[in-house]
Structure formats: structure tokens, C-alpha cells
Amino acid sequence: MTTRRRFLMMVPVSGAVLAAACSKQEEPAAAAPAPAPAPAPAPAEPPAAAAPAPAASPAPVAAGPMVEATDPTAVALGYVAVAANHDTAKYPNFVAGSNCANCALYQGAAGTEAGPCPLFAGKQVAAAGWCSSWVKKTT
Ligand code: SF4
């Protein structure tokens, strides 16, 4: 009896063990490792480095011919190539010492004899010149 009873008690246990063992075998094999993703295409060559920007200097202004005394704009503004030659009767508010070189509109480099002025596009005015639109340079 003892043997039979023991056998009957062991059947469920062994059955459970067998079922567990079988269930492990029935599990799908471990998934094959996913294929490695295709290597990313090599990054494109970075664009060629742009030329370094010039230092904080203003863009150069193209030089042009000198403003002629007969230029209609020069006549209208009373421009003279030498400030002292301005029309004192017509421009009584002339500021002593004023000239193109110390005018806010003058675009010539310091120390140059002539430079562009936006009032005379494409032309140059004399650094020693003057016109009635003179505005004191602040810097
Ligand atoms: Fe000279 Fe200034 Fe007159 Fe231009 S605006 S012509 S720089 S005085």
C-alpha cells in the first residue's frame, strides 16, 4: 500500500514536472538575434569651410570719379572741393572747420584725400570739401 500510495502521490508531481519540462521544450527557440541594421551611410563630406568673414571692418565702397563742380547735385547742395570756398552768403550757417572728412556721411577712410558720399552715388568727394548737407561726425 505504501508503495501504491506513494506512486499515486508522485504521479501529479512528476506530471507537473514533465509538463513544465515539455512546456519549456515547446517554447519557441530563442529568437535569432535581429540582423544588425544596415550601417548608416557615411555622412556626407561637410561643406567646405566658408572663407572667414572679414573682421568688423565696413564693406569697402567702390571708388568713383570725383564730383565735378558742375554736377547738378553739387550745385544744388553747394558742394565745393575746398570747404573754405563755400558760398558764405548762401550758407551763413557754415560751421567753421566743417568739411567732408568730419561729416557723418563721408565714407572715405580716415586720412584719405577723397571718399564716397551717399549723396553722390558712384562718385567721390574731397575730404577737404563741403556741402550744405554736412552733419557732424560723432565718432
Ligand atoms: Fe561732404 Fe558730408 Fe556733403 Fe557728403 S554730405 S558732400 S561728405 S559735407
How remote is the CA of residue 54 from the centroid of ligand 1, in Å? Answer: 27
Domains identified in the chain and CATH numbers: 1-23+63-139 (4.10.490.10)
Identify the pLDDT of residue 3. Answer: 56
Ligand 1 nearest-atom number relative to CA 77: 3
Q: How far is the CA of 135 from the centre of ligand 1 (A)?
A: 8
Residue 127 CB–ligand 1 contact under 6 Å: no
If you measure from the C-alpha of residue 7 to the centroid of ligand 1, how many angstroms do you get, rounded to a whole number?
Answer: 120
Give the residue, by CA position, lying nearest to ligand 1 atom 3: 131
Task: Read off the pLDDT of residues 116-135 as tens digits, 9 standing for 90 and up.
Answer: 999 999 999 999 999 999 99
Enter the pTM of the model: 0.59
Distance 99 CA to ligand 1 centre (A): 7
- For 14-56, the pLDDT digits (tens) are 444 333 443 444 444 444 444 555 555 554 554 444 444 444 4
pLDDT band at 113 (very low <50, low <70, confident <90, very high): very high
- Cα–Cα dist 30/36, whole Å: 17
